[in-house]
């Protein structure tokens, strides 16, 4: 697994939260906003673009102008698993 991708995700709490939220279901940006408890849709959309660019998520229906659905890719699942592992190790050391 690429250390650059893992550090890219760890560098932004929005990236972690969106990946975790998408690991459960295929969702629209508005649904992610509600599930992840965010205030601004623009933050979610920017994060989705960042994660799509590095192929951690993908848009299921890119031709749609509204109600685009996003899902986590296999690559994204591997990265979020590593990120969770790292965060758990950090939390153990802090206790």
**pLDDT tens for each residue of 2-44:** 899 999 999 999 999 999 999 989 999 999 999 988 889 999 9
Asked if residue 91 has pLDDT above 90, the reply is no
Residue 72 half-sphere exposure, CB side, CA atoms within 13 Å? Answer: 20
pTM of full prediction above 0.85:
yes
Asked if residue 95 has pLDDT above 70, the reply is no
3-state DSSP assignment of residue 82? helix
Q: 3-94 architecture in CATH?
A: Orthogonal Bundle (1.10)
3-state DSSP assignment of residue 70? strand
**CA–CA separation, 76 vs 91, rounded Å?**
22
């Amino acid at each position: 697994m690429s250390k650059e991708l893992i550090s890219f995700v760890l560098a932004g709490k929005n990236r972690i939260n969106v990946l975790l939220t998408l690991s459960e279901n295929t969702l629209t940006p508005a649904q992610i906003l509600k599930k992840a408890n965010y205030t601004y849709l623009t933050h979610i959309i920017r994060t989705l673009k960042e994660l799509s660019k590095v192929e951690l998520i993908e848009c299921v229906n890119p031709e749609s102008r509204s109600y685009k659905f996003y899902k986590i890719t296999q690559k994204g699942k591997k990265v979020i698993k590593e990120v969770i592992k790292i965060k758990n190790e950090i939390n153990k050391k802090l206790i």
